[in-house]
A = this chain, B = another copy of it.
Amino acid sequence: MDGHTADKPAVTDDHPVVIVGGDAAGMSAASKLKRERPDREVIVFEKGDWVSYGACGLPYYIKGEVESLSDLVSIPPEKFRSERGIDLRTNHEVVEIDTESREVTVERHEEPDNESGTETITQPYGTLLIATGARAVEPPFDGMELDGVFTLHEMDAAKEIREYLGLETGGDSEAAVNARSVAIVGGGYVGIEMAEAFAAHGLEVHLYEMLPHVLQPFGEETAEVVENHLDEQGIDLHLETAVEGFLSASETDTVETAETDDKSVAAIEAGGQRMPVDMVLVGVGVVPNVEIAETAGIETGSTGAIATDEYGETNVEGVYAAGDCAEARHVVTDEPDHVPLALTANRAGRAIGSTLAGEPTPVGPIAGTAVLKAFDLEVARTGVIDPERARSNGFDPVSVTISAPTRAHYYPGGVELQVTLVADAASNRVLGASIVGEEGAAKRIDTVATALSAELTVPELEKLDLSYAPPFSPVWDPVLTAAKVLNGKLEPSGG
């Protein structure tokens, strides 16, 4: 695992390293490469204004807990340029890659402070990193084009949502001025985090999910806890409800008034019912931005994202891909997967930066670890939870769901934590877990994520020496209790 044995050559050619996309993966790679090899020329083309920003923070910006969009930026563009020596070019969109002549075609868009208009340039590269990220899926619903219908993946969308709500003064209990109700389409991370954000501003929130449960990758046991909690928080849940489309006021049956318009959304149609709403947020997932790569003959895998080897290199020599546009190897299934999350992007970018600096470094596997805050709940997952998926990967899944307190029974303030733990009955290997509760779920999932990487069995998980003190855990941590119960199921007593 130390990377020294690999056969990737250091980059020695005279052309610069070119990086397409200036977010987590791209800027991590650029920074690491320049730190190790200040002599290398590194050009980053970013089509938008923003680089190195935390898209995961957008719901909290909309909620009002994060004051300004620029707070989400880790490192400002000037710093990348002046302190790190990276030739970072914002508002530059790579529109074509030529892997034969090793050059990219770039369109420079008009910037607010630059009236020279669009310009097209050609840039040769020695090595290319594709870090084009992903974009929100825009399903072909009727009315997607109406005002007040949003998706959320870009910084600017978040700003527009706050403007549409009429939020100005800031804070997470400021009442929205222009909207009293919102329909959220999709019960994934974005949908649930945005339900919290909208509710904070006093909106009536209708959440639509096509599947029987929200948060599909977390398993139904965890989803049910979240659904009950959303219900308690006043969110109107519509499960197993397919959305048909969105209507403007002029298309609905409501009486027309002077304010009636045919441009703004006024209702959602779903499951054969019409619900009047002032706004819609569509959060049904993301798709990797692979179009320019595919056109250039760079292969995508079965997930639709760009296929890479363990160093992040694509099928074309000297062309790498990382972050939300690329696949990664799953530590449990050992197969390529596409889990577009921030740590994966940062890590892969950094590893590729090291490799290009002459120290071949694998990008590392993923475990699909994820956590979100859903109002007062921490909701976490890792590995393979879905039994069908486990079976399709050759496992014989068996699971338990237990509930255990987060603190010693006598210590004040503890809450119940629900742990679902999944293992392979044949090998006893731990496959995945999901944890939900009002405290201590987020970081407890890391114990299981570590166990997955180490390929621990359930008996080995049960034997871990985890921390105990009355304010922080019962003697048997809930993860150990789940392992103990699952172990009883795997290994018949007296057997």
Which residue numbers of A lie inside 8 Å of B, CB to CB?
1-4, 24, 36, 54, 56-57, 60, 65-66, 71-72, 74, 331, 341-344, 346-347, 357-359, 362, 364-373, 378, 380, 382, 408-412, 428, 440, 442-447, 449-451, 453-454, 456-457, 459-460, 463-473, 475-477, 479-480, 491, 493-495
Contacts and interface: CB of A to CB of B under 8 A. Distances in A.
B469 A2 contact: no
Most buried by B among A3, A71, A408: A408
Contact of A2 (B331, B359, B428, B454): B428
Given A1-B460, A373-B472, A344 B57 contact: no
A466 B446 contact: yes
Contact of A369 (B371, B449, B465): B465
Contacts of A341: 468
Contacts of A471: 60, 373, 442
Of A442, A444, A445, which is in contact with the most chain B CB atoms at under 10 Å from its CB? Answer: A442
Contacts of A446: 443-444, 446-447, 464, 466-467, 477, 479
A442 B407 CA distance: 12
Contacts of A480: 343
A476 B66 contact: no
A56 to B, nearest CB: 6
A451 to B, nearest CB: 6
B56 A470 contact: yes
A186 B471 CA distance: 22
A156 to B, nearest CB: 17
A5 B46 CA distance: 60
A446 to B, nearest CB: 5
Given A442-B467, A447-B449, 8 more contacts: A1-B459, A24-B475, A72-B410, A359-B493, A359-B495, A369-B465, A370-B467, A446-B467
Nearest to A59: B470
B331 A410 contact: no
B451 A454 contact: yes
Most buried by B among A450, A467, A469: A467
A442 to B, nearest CB: 4
Contacts of A450: 447, 450-451, 454, 456, 464, 466
Given A411-B65, A443-B443, A475 B342 contact: yes
A36 B459 contact: no
16 contacts: A4-B495, A54-B408, A65-B412, A72-B410, A343-B475, A344-B465, A357-B493, A369-B468, A371-B467, A371-B468, A371-B472, A373-B472, A442-B467, A446-B466, A446-B467, A450-B466
Contacts of A473: 371, 442-443
Contact of A449 (B74, B346, B465, B470): B465
Given A408-B56, A443-B444, A454-B450, A465 B368 contact: yes
Contacts of A445: 467
B447 A453 contact: no
A207 B453 CA distance: 43
> 9 tightest CB-CB pairs across the interface, nearest first?
A454-B454, A364-B463, A442-B472, A367-B465, A371-B467, A443-B443, A450-B450, A71-B410, A369-B465
Nearest to A67: B410
B378 A472 contact: yes
Nearest to A459: B1
Given A2-B491, A493-B359, A467 B408 contact: no
A411 B65 CA distance: 7
Contacts of A369: 465-468
Contacts of A74: 409
Nearest to A54: B408
Contacts of A366: 465
Nearest to A487: B2
